[in-house]
């Protein structure tokens, strides 16, 4: 009985590994579209000079050589902007889009790790673009007030719409 179960399990696993060629091509094409010459999946930890948290979804990585990478987290990382610090663990000397960061909170005994959040791709931008992005985040969305209606416009709307003689 177990012999047949393991045979079916192995056959099922082998079948899952054999993906038709067109499906593989589509997956490769999607990856190529999301990564261009200004986008990286990983950055070298030794080259990071500093990081700057903009909000709960945006982090700027300032690198040696005057390079700035903007990382847009796939989901909001609650507490990241408020605490303004995070930690990460990696064994390969590189920080990648598949890695996670942990928000660091003040605790009685020192810092403790909190929410864990996934990183996104690293998009290379200019320092000017980074400054413009930070400035736009500080200002928030632009509010355009609605114009006040003229008094006669308000009076017209309160008339009885069923009575053609009114107004």
Q: What is the pLDDT of residue 94?
A: 96
pLDDT beyond 50 at 160: yes
Give 117 or 138, the one with higher predicted confidence.
117
Q: What is the mean pLDDT of residues 96-118?
A: 94
Q: What is the pLDDT of residue 60?
A: 97
Q: Chain-wide mean pLDDT for the chain?
A: 78
pLDDT digits (tens, 9 = 90+) for 27-55: 443 444 457 888 999 999 999 999 999 99
Q: What is the mean pLDDT of residues 89-114?
A: 93
Q: What is the pLDDT of residue 117?
A: 97
CA distances from 110 to 79, 83, 88, 104, 106 (A): 17, 13, 17, 10, 6
CA distance 74 to 80: 14
Residue 15 phi/psi, 5-degree rounding, is -65, -35
């Amino acid at each position: 009985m177990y012999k047949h179960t393991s045979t079916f399990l192995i056959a099922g696993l082998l079948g899952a590994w054999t993906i038709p060629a067109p499906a593989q091509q589509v997956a490769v094409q999607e990856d190529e579209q999301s990564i261009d010459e200004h986008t990286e999946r990983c950055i070298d930890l030794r080259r990071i000079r500093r990081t700057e948290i903009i909000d709960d979804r945006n982090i700027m990585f300032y690198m040696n050589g005057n390079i700035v990478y903007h990382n847009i987290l796939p989901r909001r990382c609650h507490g990241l902007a408020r605490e303004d610090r995070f930690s990460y663990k990696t064994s390969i000397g590189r920080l990648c889009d598949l890695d996670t960061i942990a928000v660091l909170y003040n605790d009685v005994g020192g810092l403790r790790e909190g929410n864990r959040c996934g990183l996104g791709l690293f998009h290379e931008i200019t320092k000017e673009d980074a400054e413009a992005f930070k400035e736009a985040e500080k200002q928030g969305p632009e509010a355009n007030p609605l114009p006040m209606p003229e008094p006669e416009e308000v009076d017209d709307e309160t008339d009885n719409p069923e009575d053609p003689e009114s107004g």
